[in-house]
Amino acid sequence: MAEKSLFEHILSGDIPSHMVGSGEGWYAFLDIFPRREGHTLVIPTTAVSRIADLSTLERSQLMEGVAEVQRLLTIKFATTDFTIVIHDGPLAGQEVPHVHAHVLPRTENDSGKTLAAMWPPQSQDIDHEKLSVLASELRMEGN
């Protein structure tokens, strides 16, 4: 039997959390190391590490939780802009092996950055041929 993750301990009440909301198949709580005020984590109640391991229903429930958290944060922070991040696996930066979405309210001058700021600058030359080949290969993988 695998050891319970931090989030499973939170779901079972073994570890306290600052709940923001919950619903069918999801639970949301404030991040204890927030990148900004209101930084909320939304987790499925099913303990899996990767999005692909959730059922279609569970993925839908998780996104319903994200939308509800956005609604609550919109009221509190008077914004409709959010950064929503899911690190899907350890190489993507996932620190707790349980699917979770980070929901951060964005406001004027909050010092947050864009996804592009996470990597070095890219060439501004668009290689449509290379993109076309990759897209074709990806479609073929699904057949």
Model confidence pLDDT, tens digit, residues 16-54: 999 999 999 999 999 999 999 999 999 999 999 999 999
Sign of dihedral through CA atoms 126, 132, 137, 141?
A: positive
**What pLDDT sits at residue 117?**
76
Q: Which stretches of 9-75 are assigned E, i.e. beta strand?
A: 19-23, 26-30, 40-44
Strand partners, 39: none
Its domain, for residue 122, covers: 6-141
Per annotation, catalytic residue among 9, 87, 98, 100: 100
The question of whether 100 is a catalytic residue gets the answer: yes
For the chain of 143 residues, list the mean pLDDT of each consecutive stretch of 10. Answer: 89 96 97 93 97 98 98 96 96 96 94 77 82 89 72
Give residue 1's pLDDT. Answer: 53
Contacts of 107 (CB under 8 A, 6+ apart): 77, 78, 79, 81
3-state secondary structure of 52: helix
Q: Which residue has the tokens 């190489």?
A: 91
Residue 1 located in a structural domain: no
pTM for the whole structure? 0.89
CATH code of the domain in which 115 resides:
3.30.428.10
- Cα distance between residue 55 and residue 16, in whole Å: 27
Domain count, the chain: 1
- Alpha carbon 135 to its chain's center: 25
pLDDT of amino acid 139 = 86
